[in-house]
Structure 1
Amino acid sequence: MPAYKRYKNSLRNDGVVPQTLWTHAFAGHTDGSRKEFREILHDIPSASDFATPKPSLLIQRILQISTDKDSLILDSFAGSGTTAHAVLKQNAEDGGNRRFILVEMDEHIAQNVTAERVRRVAQGYTNAKGDQVAGLGGGFQYCRLSTEPLFAPDGQIRGDVSFAQLAEFVWFAETGVGFTGTADSPLLGTHEGRAIYLLYNGILKDLAPQSGNVLTATVFNRLPVFSGPKVIYAAANRMGARAAREGITFQQIPYALEVQP
Protein backbone atom coordinates (compact mmCIF):
# COMPACT_ATOMS: atom_id res chain seq x y z
CA MET A 1 0.00 0.00 0.00
CA PRO A 2 1.18 3.58 -0.58
CA ALA A 3 2.73 5.12 2.52
CA TYR A 4 3.89 8.59 3.48
CA LYS A 5 7.37 8.58 5.02
CA ARG A 6 8.68 11.38 7.19
CA TYR A 7 12.31 11.66 8.28
CA LYS A 8 13.38 12.68 11.74
CA ASN A 9 15.24 15.78 10.58
CA SER A 10 12.04 17.16 9.05
CA LEU A 11 9.98 16.93 12.25
CA ARG A 12 9.35 19.79 14.66
CA ASN A 13 9.85 19.97 18.43
CA ASP A 14 11.33 16.78 19.86
CA GLY A 15 11.40 14.90 16.53
CA VAL A 16 8.95 12.21 17.65
CA VAL A 17 6.71 10.76 14.96
CA PRO A 18 3.03 10.72 16.09
CA GLN A 19 1.93 7.20 16.93
CA THR A 20 -1.27 5.53 15.81
CA LEU A 21 -1.09 3.21 18.82
CA TRP A 22 -1.94 4.96 22.09
CA THR A 23 -0.39 3.31 25.11
CA HIS A 24 -1.96 3.02 28.54
CA ALA A 25 0.41 5.66 29.84
CA PHE A 26 -0.72 8.06 27.14
CA ALA A 27 -4.48 7.48 27.04
CA GLY A 28 -5.40 5.46 30.13
CA HIS A 29 -7.02 2.04 30.37
CA THR A 30 -10.24 0.40 31.49
CA ASP A 31 -9.04 -0.70 34.90
CA GLY A 32 -7.85 2.79 35.76
CA SER A 33 -11.04 4.41 34.46
CA ARG A 34 -13.17 2.06 36.54
CA LYS A 35 -11.22 2.92 39.68
CA GLU A 36 -11.42 6.64 38.92
CA PHE A 37 -15.17 6.44 38.34
CA ARG A 38 -15.87 4.49 41.52
CA GLU A 39 -13.66 6.77 43.60
CA ILE A 40 -15.86 9.69 42.57
CA LEU A 41 -19.21 7.88 42.98
CA HIS A 42 -18.20 5.42 45.71
CA ASP A 43 -21.47 6.01 47.59
CA ILE A 44 -23.77 5.67 44.56
CA PRO A 45 -24.99 2.06 44.10
CA SER A 46 -25.68 2.61 40.39
CA ALA A 47 -21.97 3.21 39.78
CA SER A 48 -21.33 -0.52 39.99
CA ASP A 49 -23.47 -1.01 36.86
CA PHE A 50 -20.73 0.56 34.75
CA ALA A 51 -18.14 -2.17 34.29
CA THR A 52 -16.07 -0.48 31.58
CA PRO A 53 -16.41 3.32 31.64
CA LYS A 54 -14.19 5.15 29.15
CA PRO A 55 -10.94 6.56 30.54
CA SER A 56 -11.26 10.32 31.00
CA LEU A 57 -7.65 10.61 29.81
CA LEU A 58 -8.59 8.95 26.51
CA ILE A 59 -11.34 11.51 25.87
CA GLN A 60 -9.02 14.27 27.00
CA ARG A 61 -6.43 13.22 24.39
CA ILE A 62 -9.14 13.34 21.73
CA LEU A 63 -10.10 16.84 22.89
CA GLN A 64 -6.48 17.94 22.68
CA ILE A 65 -6.31 16.81 19.07
CA SER A 66 -9.73 17.83 17.79
CA THR A 67 -10.99 20.89 19.69
CA ASP A 68 -10.20 24.53 20.26
CA LYS A 69 -10.38 26.26 23.64
CA ASP A 70 -13.91 27.51 22.93
CA SER A 71 -15.34 24.38 21.25
CA LEU A 72 -18.74 22.89 22.02
CA ILE A 73 -18.62 19.10 22.54
CA LEU A 74 -21.69 16.88 22.13
CA ASP A 75 -22.02 13.42 23.63
CA SER A 76 -25.33 11.82 22.65
CA PHE A 77 -24.75 8.76 24.84
CA ALA A 78 -23.50 10.37 28.05
CA GLY A 79 -23.61 7.31 30.32
CA SER A 80 -21.12 7.71 33.14
CA GLY A 81 -20.29 11.34 32.23
CA THR A 82 -16.71 10.75 31.07
CA THR A 83 -16.91 13.33 28.29
CA ALA A 84 -17.89 16.17 30.63
CA HIS A 85 -15.19 15.10 33.10
CA ALA A 86 -12.59 15.22 30.32
CA VAL A 87 -13.78 18.64 29.14
CA LEU A 88 -13.48 20.09 32.64
CA LYS A 89 -10.02 18.55 33.05
CA GLN A 90 -8.80 19.99 29.77
CA ASN A 91 -10.24 23.42 30.54
CA ALA A 92 -8.48 23.39 33.91
CA GLU A 93 -5.18 22.48 32.25
CA ASP A 94 -5.11 24.97 29.38
CA GLY A 95 -7.49 27.69 30.57
CA GLY A 96 -10.03 26.83 27.91
CA ASN A 97 -13.72 27.64 27.86
CA ARG A 98 -15.01 24.47 26.17
CA ARG A 99 -18.65 23.67 26.77
CA PHE A 100 -20.46 20.35 26.56
CA ILE A 101 -23.92 18.98 25.88
CA LEU A 102 -24.62 15.54 27.31
CA VAL A 103 -27.69 13.49 26.40
CA GLU A 104 -28.75 10.51 28.51
CA MET A 105 -32.17 8.93 27.96
CA ASP A 106 -32.25 6.85 31.15
CA GLU A 107 -33.55 9.32 33.74
CA HIS A 108 -32.13 7.39 36.70
CA ILE A 109 -28.64 7.26 35.19
CA ALA A 110 -28.84 10.89 34.03
CA GLN A 111 -29.71 12.22 37.47
CA ASN A 112 -27.85 9.87 39.80
CA VAL A 113 -24.75 9.00 37.79
CA THR A 114 -24.08 11.36 34.88
CA ALA A 115 -25.07 14.63 36.53
CA GLU A 116 -23.73 13.64 39.95
CA ARG A 117 -20.30 12.80 38.54
CA VAL A 118 -20.09 16.10 36.68
CA ARG A 119 -21.25 18.01 39.76
CA ARG A 120 -18.63 16.40 41.96
CA VAL A 121 -15.66 16.80 39.65
CA ALA A 122 -16.64 20.44 39.06
CA GLN A 123 -17.26 21.39 42.69
CA GLY A 124 -15.02 18.93 44.56
CA TYR A 125 -15.86 15.79 46.49
CA THR A 126 -14.76 13.38 49.22
CA ASN A 127 -13.36 10.14 47.81
CA ALA A 128 -13.75 6.60 49.14
CA LYS A 129 -10.78 7.07 51.51
CA GLY A 130 -12.30 10.18 53.04
CA ASP A 131 -9.85 12.54 51.33
CA GLN A 132 -11.08 15.83 49.93
CA VAL A 133 -10.54 16.21 46.18
CA ALA A 134 -10.57 19.74 44.83
CA GLY A 135 -13.04 20.63 42.09
CA LEU A 136 -11.98 21.41 38.54
CA GLY A 137 -14.28 24.41 38.29
CA GLY A 138 -17.07 25.04 35.81
CA GLY A 139 -20.64 23.88 36.06
CA PHE A 140 -23.67 22.78 34.05
CA GLN A 141 -27.41 23.14 33.67
CA TYR A 142 -29.52 19.99 34.11
CA CYS A 143 -32.55 19.94 31.78
CA ARG A 144 -35.31 17.45 31.11
CA LEU A 145 -37.04 17.00 27.78
CA SER A 146 -40.79 17.47 27.82
CA THR A 147 -42.90 14.52 26.75
CA GLU A 148 -44.54 16.64 24.04
CA PRO A 149 -43.20 19.50 21.89
CA LEU A 150 -43.98 23.06 22.97
CA PHE A 151 -45.08 24.16 19.50
CA ALA A 152 -47.75 22.87 17.15
CA PRO A 153 -46.90 22.23 13.46
CA ASP A 154 -48.07 25.76 12.54
CA GLY A 155 -45.52 27.32 14.90
CA GLN A 156 -48.03 28.34 17.55
CA ILE A 157 -47.91 27.18 21.16
CA ARG A 158 -49.92 23.99 21.64
CA GLY A 159 -53.32 24.68 23.15
CA ASP A 160 -52.80 22.34 26.10
CA VAL A 161 -49.53 23.93 27.30
CA SER A 162 -50.04 25.20 30.84
CA PHE A 163 -48.82 28.47 32.30
CA ALA A 164 -46.34 26.59 34.46
CA GLN A 165 -44.87 24.74 31.47
CA LEU A 166 -44.45 27.92 29.44
CA ALA A 167 -43.04 29.74 32.47
CA GLU A 168 -40.20 27.23 32.68
CA PHE A 169 -39.38 27.72 29.00
CA VAL A 170 -39.59 31.53 29.14
CA TRP A 171 -37.41 31.70 32.23
CA PHE A 172 -34.73 29.50 30.69
CA ALA A 173 -34.83 31.35 27.35
CA GLU A 174 -34.45 34.67 29.15
CA THR A 175 -31.91 33.74 31.84
CA GLY A 176 -30.18 30.52 30.79
CA VAL A 177 -30.88 28.94 34.19
CA GLY A 178 -33.58 26.64 35.51
CA PHE A 179 -36.86 28.00 36.83
CA THR A 180 -37.41 27.57 40.57
CA GLY A 181 -40.48 29.76 41.03
CA THR A 182 -44.04 28.75 41.85
CA ALA A 183 -45.64 29.75 38.51
CA ASP A 184 -48.69 31.25 40.22
CA SER A 185 -48.10 34.88 39.22
CA PRO A 186 -47.37 36.79 36.01
CA LEU A 187 -44.16 37.93 37.72
CA LEU A 188 -41.91 34.88 37.30
CA GLY A 189 -39.07 36.44 39.28
CA THR A 190 -36.09 38.75 38.97
CA HIS A 191 -32.75 38.02 37.38
CA GLU A 192 -29.70 40.28 37.19
CA GLY A 193 -31.71 43.34 38.14
CA ARG A 194 -34.67 42.88 35.81
CA ALA A 195 -38.14 41.48 36.42
CA ILE A 196 -39.50 38.85 34.05
CA TYR A 197 -43.25 38.67 33.43
CA LEU A 198 -45.39 36.25 31.46
CA LEU A 199 -48.95 36.92 30.31
CA TYR A 200 -50.43 33.65 29.16
CA ASN A 201 -53.32 31.26 29.60
CA GLY A 202 -55.44 33.43 31.87
CA ILE A 203 -52.87 34.02 34.61
CA LEU A 204 -54.76 37.26 35.35
CA LYS A 205 -58.07 35.33 35.34
CA ASP A 206 -59.09 36.94 32.07
CA LEU A 207 -59.12 34.78 28.95
CA ALA A 208 -60.43 37.48 26.58
CA PRO A 209 -58.04 37.50 23.60
CA GLN A 210 -57.55 41.28 23.76
CA SER A 211 -57.19 41.47 27.53
CA GLY A 212 -55.39 39.16 29.94
CA ASN A 213 -52.77 37.85 27.50
CA VAL A 214 -52.16 41.22 25.84
CA LEU A 215 -50.09 43.98 27.44
CA THR A 216 -52.35 47.00 27.83
CA ALA A 217 -52.25 49.88 30.29
CA THR A 218 -55.03 48.24 32.31
CA VAL A 219 -53.21 44.89 32.41
CA PHE A 220 -49.91 46.57 33.29
CA ASN A 221 -51.51 48.32 36.26
CA ARG A 222 -52.60 44.91 37.58
CA LEU A 223 -49.10 43.41 37.46
CA PRO A 224 -46.96 43.01 40.58
CA VAL A 225 -44.88 46.18 40.90
CA PHE A 226 -41.15 46.26 40.16
CA SER A 227 -39.26 49.54 40.07
CA GLY A 228 -36.45 48.47 37.73
CA PRO A 229 -36.25 47.16 34.14
CA LYS A 230 -38.98 44.75 33.11
CA VAL A 231 -39.17 42.08 30.42
CA ILE A 232 -42.75 41.15 29.56
CA TYR A 233 -43.73 38.18 27.39
CA ALA A 234 -47.23 38.50 25.96
CA ALA A 235 -49.26 37.98 22.80
CA ALA A 236 -49.21 41.67 21.86
CA ASN A 237 -48.27 45.11 23.18
CA ARG A 238 -50.93 47.87 23.26
CA MET A 239 -49.11 50.30 25.59
CA GLY A 240 -47.47 52.42 22.91
CA ALA A 241 -44.84 54.92 24.08
CA ARG A 242 -45.63 54.27 27.74
CA ALA A 243 -43.87 50.89 27.56
CA ALA A 244 -40.51 52.60 27.06
CA ARG A 245 -41.19 55.07 29.87
CA GLU A 246 -41.96 52.17 32.22
CA GLY A 247 -38.66 50.44 31.34
CA ILE A 248 -40.40 47.57 29.54
CA THR A 249 -38.72 45.29 27.02
CA PHE A 250 -41.56 43.55 25.19
CA GLN A 251 -41.21 39.98 23.90
CA GLN A 252 -43.99 38.73 21.65
CA ILE A 253 -45.24 35.17 22.09
CA PRO A 254 -44.59 32.82 20.34
CA TYR A 255 -41.98 34.51 18.14
CA ALA A 256 -39.60 35.45 20.96
CA LEU A 257 -39.53 31.94 22.38
CA GLU A 258 -36.17 30.69 21.27
CA VAL A 259 -33.12 29.71 23.28
CA GLN A 260 -30.00 31.58 22.25
CA PRO A 261 -26.80 29.49 21.79
Structure 2
Amino acid sequence: MERHTADYAVPRLKKVVNGEDTRGITGDTGWQGGGGFRFCTLGEPLFDADGNVSPAVTFPDLAAHVFFCETGSPIPKRADGASPLIGTFQNRAIYLLHSAEAVGVAREQAGNVLTGAVLEALPLPDKDFAGARIVYAEGCTVPDDRLSALGITFKQIPYQIEGI
Protein backbone atom coordinates (compact mmCIF):
# COMPACT_ATOMS: atom_id res chain seq x y z
CA MET A 1 0.00 0.00 0.00
CA GLU A 2 2.82 2.43 0.84
CA ARG A 3 4.40 1.92 -2.61
CA HIS A 4 1.04 2.50 -4.30
CA THR A 5 0.58 5.71 -2.33
CA ALA A 6 4.03 7.04 -3.22
CA ASP A 7 3.82 5.98 -6.89
CA TYR A 8 0.21 6.89 -7.72
CA ALA A 9 -1.71 8.81 -5.06
CA VAL A 10 0.90 11.46 -4.22
CA PRO A 11 1.61 12.46 -7.86
CA ARG A 12 -2.15 12.61 -8.58
CA LEU A 13 -2.82 14.74 -5.50
CA LYS A 14 -0.04 17.14 -6.51
CA LYS A 15 -1.62 17.55 -9.96
CA VAL A 16 -5.08 18.07 -8.47
CA VAL A 17 -3.84 20.68 -6.00
CA ASN A 18 -1.96 22.48 -8.79
CA GLY A 19 -5.11 22.47 -10.98
CA GLU A 20 -3.49 20.24 -13.61
CA ASP A 21 -5.90 17.30 -13.19
CA THR A 22 -9.55 17.95 -12.43
CA ARG A 23 -10.89 14.49 -13.27
CA GLY A 24 -13.38 13.37 -10.64
CA ILE A 25 -14.04 16.89 -9.40
CA THR A 26 -17.58 18.04 -10.02
CA GLY A 27 -17.91 21.28 -11.94
CA ASP A 28 -20.62 22.44 -9.54
CA THR A 29 -17.99 23.26 -6.92
CA GLY A 30 -16.28 25.90 -9.04
CA TRP A 31 -12.96 24.71 -7.64
CA GLN A 32 -9.95 25.85 -9.65
CA GLY A 33 -7.18 24.05 -7.80
CA GLY A 34 -5.19 25.09 -4.79
CA GLY A 35 -5.02 23.80 -1.25
CA GLY A 36 -2.56 21.22 -0.16
CA PHE A 37 -1.96 17.91 1.54
CA ARG A 38 0.62 16.17 3.68
CA PHE A 39 1.86 12.64 3.20
CA CYS A 40 2.79 11.15 6.56
CA THR A 41 4.17 7.80 7.53
CA LEU A 42 3.02 6.47 10.87
CA GLY A 43 5.60 5.12 13.29
CA GLU A 44 5.32 2.24 15.69
CA PRO A 45 2.27 2.25 17.99
CA LEU A 46 2.97 3.99 21.31
CA PHE A 47 0.61 1.70 23.21
CA ASP A 48 -0.18 -1.99 23.06
CA ALA A 49 -3.69 -3.48 22.84
CA ASP A 50 -4.06 -3.27 26.64
CA GLY A 51 -3.17 0.44 26.79
CA ASN A 52 0.33 -0.05 28.17
CA VAL A 53 3.33 1.83 26.78
CA SER A 54 5.01 -0.30 24.13
CA PRO A 55 8.57 -1.37 25.03
CA ALA A 56 9.73 -0.13 21.61
CA VAL A 57 8.67 3.47 22.32
CA THR A 58 11.47 6.02 22.51
CA PHE A 59 11.63 8.91 24.98
CA PRO A 60 11.23 11.56 22.23
CA ASP A 61 8.13 9.88 20.81
CA LEU A 62 6.44 9.41 24.19
CA ALA A 63 7.38 12.97 25.18
CA ALA A 64 5.80 14.37 22.02
CA HIS A 65 2.62 12.41 22.67
CA VAL A 66 2.42 13.37 26.36
CA PHE A 67 3.03 17.04 25.55
CA PHE A 68 0.36 17.09 22.85
CA CYS A 69 -2.19 15.29 25.04
CA GLU A 70 -1.53 17.66 27.93
CA THR A 71 -1.54 20.91 25.95
CA GLY A 72 -3.25 20.27 22.62
CA SER A 73 -0.16 21.69 20.91
CA PRO A 74 2.89 20.06 19.33
CA ILE A 75 6.02 19.83 21.45
CA PRO A 76 8.10 22.98 20.76
CA LYS A 77 11.42 21.13 20.52
CA ARG A 78 12.15 17.42 20.13
CA ALA A 79 12.94 16.01 23.58
CA ASP A 80 16.21 14.11 23.80
CA GLY A 81 15.80 12.62 27.28
CA ALA A 82 18.67 14.65 28.75
CA SER A 83 16.15 16.50 30.94
CA PRO A 84 12.78 15.41 32.30
CA LEU A 85 11.44 18.88 31.38
CA ILE A 86 9.94 18.31 27.94
CA GLY A 87 8.44 21.76 27.42
CA THR A 88 6.27 24.60 28.65
CA PHE A 89 2.92 25.87 27.47
CA GLN A 90 0.67 28.63 28.85
CA ASN A 91 2.47 28.83 32.21
CA ARG A 92 2.64 25.05 32.63
CA ALA A 93 5.85 23.02 32.69
CA ILE A 94 5.50 19.42 31.51
CA TYR A 95 7.89 16.72 32.77
CA LEU A 96 8.32 13.09 31.76
CA LEU A 97 10.10 10.46 33.86
CA HIS A 98 10.41 7.49 31.52
CA SER A 99 12.81 4.60 31.26
CA ALA A 100 12.80 2.23 28.30
CA GLU A 101 14.36 -0.42 30.55
CA ALA A 102 11.44 -0.34 33.00
CA VAL A 103 8.33 0.16 30.88
CA GLY A 104 5.28 -0.71 32.94
CA VAL A 105 7.27 -1.14 36.15
CA ALA A 106 7.71 1.66 38.66
CA ARG A 107 11.35 1.48 39.77
CA GLU A 108 13.14 4.29 41.56
CA GLN A 109 16.48 2.97 40.27
CA ALA A 110 15.21 3.30 36.69
CA GLY A 111 14.32 6.95 37.21
CA ASN A 112 10.66 6.57 36.35
CA VAL A 113 9.29 7.29 39.85
CA LEU A 114 8.73 10.76 41.29
CA THR A 115 10.54 10.65 44.63
CA GLY A 116 11.46 13.46 47.00
CA ALA A 117 15.00 13.53 45.60
CA VAL A 118 13.78 13.57 41.99
CA LEU A 119 11.28 16.30 42.88
CA GLU A 120 14.05 18.50 44.30
CA ALA A 121 16.12 17.96 41.15
CA LEU A 122 13.38 18.85 38.63
CA PRO A 123 14.66 21.80 36.62
CA LEU A 124 12.54 24.92 36.39
CA PRO A 125 12.02 26.39 32.91
CA ASP A 126 13.57 29.59 34.26
CA LYS A 127 14.48 30.90 37.71
CA ASP A 128 11.32 33.03 38.01
CA PHE A 129 8.87 30.32 36.86
CA ALA A 130 5.83 30.24 39.16
CA GLY A 131 3.37 28.26 37.03
CA ALA A 132 1.97 24.77 37.37
CA ARG A 133 4.21 21.76 36.95
CA ILE A 134 2.83 18.46 35.64
CA VAL A 135 4.93 15.32 36.08
CA TYR A 136 4.23 12.09 34.18
CA ALA A 137 5.85 8.98 35.69
CA GLU A 138 5.18 5.31 36.44
CA GLY A 139 4.88 5.98 40.16
CA CYS A 140 5.13 8.58 42.91
CA THR A 141 6.30 8.39 46.54
CA VAL A 142 5.77 12.08 47.33
CA PRO A 143 2.71 12.80 49.51
CA ASP A 144 -0.18 14.60 47.79
CA ASP A 145 -0.11 17.51 50.24
CA ARG A 146 3.54 18.23 49.43
CA LEU A 147 2.84 18.10 45.69
CA SER A 148 -0.14 20.45 46.11
CA ALA A 149 1.89 22.91 48.18
CA LEU A 150 4.47 23.07 45.38
CA GLY A 151 1.90 23.41 42.58
CA ILE A 152 2.79 20.01 41.13
CA THR A 153 0.36 17.55 39.59
CA PHE A 154 1.43 13.91 39.28
CA LYS A 155 0.00 11.84 36.42
CA GLN A 156 0.61 8.12 36.27
CA ILE A 157 1.81 6.51 33.06
CA PRO A 158 -0.03 5.07 31.16
CA TYR A 159 -3.36 5.54 32.93
CA GLN A 160 -3.46 9.32 33.02
CA ILE A 161 -2.15 10.05 29.56
CA GLU A 162 -5.17 11.59 27.88
CA GLY A 163 -6.28 10.30 24.52
CA ILE A 164 -5.55 6.60 24.98
TM-score where L is the length of structure 2:
0.68
* 1:197, distance to aligned residue in structure 2 (A): 0.6
* Aligned-partner SS, 2:18: helix
For 1:180-219, list aligned pairs within 5 A.
180-184=76-80, 185-201=83-99, 209-211=107-109, 212-219=111-118
State percent identity of aligned pairs: 38
* Aligned-partner SS, 2:61: helix
Q: 1:158-195 CA distances to partner (integer Å, 9 max, x unpaired)? A: 11101000011001101111113131321111111111
* Aligned-partner SS, 2:60: helix
For 1:1-261, list aligned pairs within 5 A.
47-48=18-19, 50-52=21-23, 54=25, 58=29, 113-114=36-37, 144=40, 146-184=42-80, 185-201=83-99, 209-211=107-109, 212-225=111-124, 226-240=129-143, 241-259=145-163
Distance in 2 separating the partners of 1:213 and 1:57? 58
Aligned partner of 1:101 in structure 2 is none
* 1:156, distance to aligned residue in structure 2 (A): 1.0
Distance in 2 separating the partners of 1:157 and 1:49? 45
Distance in 2 separating the partners of 1:159 and 1:146? 17
238 and 164 in structure 1: CA distance in 2 versus 1, 3 angstrom threshold: same
* 1:198, distance to aligned residue in structure 2 (A): 0.7
Code of the residue aligned with 1:235 in structure 2: it is: E
Distance in 2 separating the partners of 1:57 and 1:175? 40
174 and 53 in structure 1: CA distance in 2 versus 1, 3 angstrom threshold: farther
247 and 155 in structure 1: CA distance in 2 versus 1, 3 angstrom threshold: same
Alignment size in residue pairs? 137
Q: CA RMSD in A?
A: 3.4
Relative CO higher for 1 or 2, CA cutoff 8 Å, sep ≥ 6? 2
* 1:223, distance to aligned residue in structure 2 (A): 1.2
Code of the residue aligned with 2:93 in structure 1: it is: A
Larger Cα Rg: Structure 1 or Structure 2? 1
49 and 239 in structure 1: CA distance in 2 versus 1, 3 angstrom threshold: farther
237 and 48 in structure 1: CA distance in 2 versus 1, 3 angstrom threshold: same
Q: Could you tell me whether the CA contact under 8 Å between 2:17 and 2:34 is conserved in 1? A: no
Aligned partner of 1:25 in structure 2 is none
* Aligned-partner SS, 2:108: coil
Q: Which blocks of at least 5 consecutive residues in structure 2 are unaligned?
A: 1-13
Distance in 1 separating the partners of 2:44 and 2:130? 37
* Aligned-partner SS, 2:142: coil
Distance in 2 separating the partners of 1:176 and 1:57? 37
Q: Could you tell me whether the CA contact under 8 Å between 2:106 and 2:138 is conserved in 1? A: no
TM-score where L is the length of structure 1:
0.45
* Aligned-partner SS, 1:114: coil
